[in-house]
Chains A and B, each alone.
Chain A
Amino acid sequence: MAQKVLIKGNEAIGEAAIMAGCRHFFGYPITPQNEVAEYISKRMPEAGGCFLQAESELAAINMVYGAAGAGARVMTSSSSPGISLMQEGISYIAASELPCLIVNVMRGGPGLGGIQPSQADYFQATKGGGHGDYRLVVLAPSTIQEMIDLIVEGFDIADQYRNPVMILADGMLGQMMEPVVLEPKKRIERQLPAKDWATTGCDGSRPRNVINSLFMIPEQLEQRNLILIDKYKRIEQNEVQYQSIDIEGSDVVLVAYGTMARIARTVAKKAKELGISVGILRPITLWPFPYDAVAAIGDMPNVKAVFSIEMSAGQMVEDIKLGINGKKPVYFYGRTGGMIPSPNEILDYICDVLEVR
């Protein structure tokens, strides 16, 4: 096995991008993800690529748009308020069917908010964010090793479907350090189509490629949308990822992603000491959401209740309710503004709901 190294989440994002063959990075500083750009600014020139600190997030995302249109493996990274500024560009990139990777190391909001960890951008990431009927593939790592794996896979998913992919992390995952092996664990072999649509300059040798999202004739625009909708259906069929931990036979199931899934593991361990068996469902893709896996919990006779635990005021819980479809009671526990729920307070809430003490 390759040697383990100790690395900060943000730095691992940078190294994983280089590993994935990304050679163009455009970004603008914001806490708590600054080490991403710091790391890449050093590594990218060594790898023969381009690091550019733009004058704003708007400029950065439009540079991503341009580089993606020219066929480059390209990424940007930001945190919540910065990602909000990028939404127009993200909608354009999705509309133009261009592959790229967008990293959001979430912090507390709304507004300028704070700089501590949060998961309050779930709606923005999974339900649009920008205008129009588009989707991002949203990947939510819960360890630094998985962050590396998902960044490498994320670039491939983006290329396979010609669609922007978002890595949805949070301040804790960005700032913490843990040991990793600096290589992707498993690389799913994907047939990546040639980028014959890229605007690489044709010198009259082929018809011009045009990157465009403006269609003034409704019939034409609807045709474009139907193509996108068809693609999103294929992604929903093929790309759902989740992890189940001890769900079979459990009394309650916690659904959690990212940092909260780590905390859920600690909750499950503490609950066991009280005689409560806690299963965990951890969505890895937030879009496409693992509705089928959630629905299956609805049919498990032993499960008394399902809990969504989040660093938000309750966002993913809406998708869980859609999946459960009324078959089980669904509860929510969350903290906001950069507060991180402790395992004990979550356990207290579970005990209150179950009326055990």
Chain B
Amino acid sequence: MTHEVIMAGFGGQGVMSIGQLLTHAGMEVGLNVSWYPSYGPEMRGGTAFCHVIVSDEFIGSPLVTSPTDLIIMNRPSLDKFEQTAASGASVFVNSSLIDREVKRDDIKAYYIPANDIANRLGNVRVANMVMFGAFLACTGIAPVDVVELCFKEMLGPSKAHMIDVNRKALREGMKLVDK
């Protein structure tokens, strides 16, 4: 089992955070993991992205060149990464902000109105967690209680008030794919 994931969006949409969350959760369930961020000019105002590999095998290159999963938060990221996806890849598209569908017919698209759901929950900043919930439900990489423990730890005491809304967002995202 190997998931090679690219998460991408505008700076501030929380793609680095959900990347770290997946990495952390993968580590907790005993898998090999790596996380590699974009740290160049793209994160200074364009498309920020990170590469996450979760595998039961040794991880050689931490670079993801043909992702098995894409979590796409904005239109420029879809334009940038759609063609890189491996055949059969799962693509999670933030349909609240992205006004087009996936063009390729050899990849499976999930349209998640992440910003709309996050707004309904009262905080647009948890849109990333809605997307991550959908991804988690689809891949089953880690149990939801492990993921919740991880983001509790990542948020820390200073952001403890954010735990509840993140948990709700994660569960809403999971529900969307269950349907």
Contacts and interface: CB of A to CB of B under 8 A. Distances in A.
Interface string A158-174: 00000000000001100
B29 to A, nearest CB: 12
B7 to A, nearest CB: 14
B62 to A, nearest CB: 5
A262 B60 contact: yes
A6 B27 CA distance: 8
A266 interface: yes
Interface in A232-282: 259, 262-267, 269
Given A115-B40, A266-B61, A343-B61, 7 more contacts: A176-B36, A176-B62, A177-B23, A262-B62, A269-B60, A340-B61, A343-B60
Contacts of B40: 114-116
A172 B27 contact: no
B39 A32 contact: yes
B34 interface: yes
7 contacts: A6-B23, A6-B27, A32-B39, A262-B60, A267-B60, A342-B63, A343-B65
Interface in B49-90: 58-63, 65
| Interface size band for A | 20 to 34
Nearest to B66: A344
Nearest to A116: B40
A178 B26 CA distance: 11
A175 interface: yes
Task: Indicate the member of A266, A267, A269, A343 with the most B CB atoms within 10 Å.
Answer: A266
A32 B37 CA distance: 11
A176 B35 CA distance: 5
Contacts of B167: none
A263 B33 CA distance: 15
Contacts of A340: 61, 63
Contacts of B33: 6, 178-179
B36 A172 contact: yes
A31 interface: yes
Contact of B60 (A172, A175, A264): A264
A263 B60 CA distance: 5
B49 to A, nearest CB: 13
A263 B34 CA distance: 13
A131 interface: no
A190 interface: no
3 pairs of A and B residues whose beta carbons are closest in the complex: A266-B60, A265-B60, A177-B35
Interface of A: 4, 6, 31-32, 114-116, 171-172, 175-179, 259, 262-267, 269, 340, 342-344
Contacts of A265: 58, 60-61
Range of interface residues on B (Cβ < 8 Å): 10 to 19
Interface of B: 20, 23-24, 27, 33-37, 39-40, 58-63, 65
Given A32-B39, A178-B35, A172 B65 contact: no
Given A265-B58, A344-B65, A6 B24 contact: yes
A32 B40 CA distance: 9
A153 to B, nearest CB: 23
A263 B20 contact: no
A6 B24 CA distance: 7
Contact of A172 (B20, B59, B62): B62
B4 to A, nearest CB: 11
Contacts of B20: 6, 177
Contact of A175 (B24, B37, B61, B65): B37
B62 A178 contact: yes
Contacts of B62: 172, 176, 178, 262
A342 B63 CA distance: 8
B77 to A, nearest CB: 19
A115 B39 contact: yes
Contacts of A116: 40
A175 B27 CA distance: 18
B63 A175 contact: no
A172 B64 CA distance: 13
A262 B63 CA distance: 10
A256 B35 CA distance: 22
A174 to B, nearest CB: 9
Nearest to B53: A178
B1 to A, nearest CB: 15
B147 to A, nearest CB: 14
B61 A179 contact: no
A311 to B, nearest CB: 12
A342 B27 contact: no
A232 to B, nearest CB: 34
B76 to A, nearest CB: 20
Contacts of A115: 39-40
